[in-house]
Amino acid sequence: MASVTPGPCPDTGCPPTTQVDCIVVDKVYDSCSQTITTTQTFCAKGEKKCSVSSCAIDLATSSCMVGAITPTSVTDYNNITFIISANYSVTCTSGDVLPETVVTTQNVTLYSPSGTTPSCTILSGACTCVNLPNGDISCTITLCMLFQSTATVQLLVPSYGFCVPPVCPQVGPVLPCPPSPLFPPQAS
In a domain, 133, yes or no: yes
In a domain, 171, yes or no: no
Residues 91, 58 contacting (CB under 8 angstroms): no
In a domain, 126, yes or no: yes
Q: Rounded to whole angstroms, how far apart are CA atoms 81 and 102? A: 16
In a domain, 85, yes or no: yes
Residue 8: how many other CB atoms lie within 10 Å: 9
In a domain, 184, yes or no: no
Please provide the average confidence, as pLDDT, over all residues in the chain. Answer: 87
In a domain, 140, yes or no: yes
Checking if the pLDDT of 40 tops 90, the result is yes
In a domain, 22, yes or no: no
> What is the pTM for the complete model shown?
0.75
For residue 62, the model assigns a pLDDT of: 97
Domain that holds residue 68: 30-159
Checking if the pLDDT of 15 tops 80, the result is no
Count how many domains the chain has: 1
In a domain, 164, yes or no: no
Q: Rounded to whole angstroms, how far apart are CA atoms 23 and 156? A: 7
Cβ-count burial of 100 within 10 angstroms (0-12 exposed, 13-18 middle, 19+ buried)? middle
Task: Name the nearest CA neighbour of 35 among 122, 110, 118.
Answer: 122
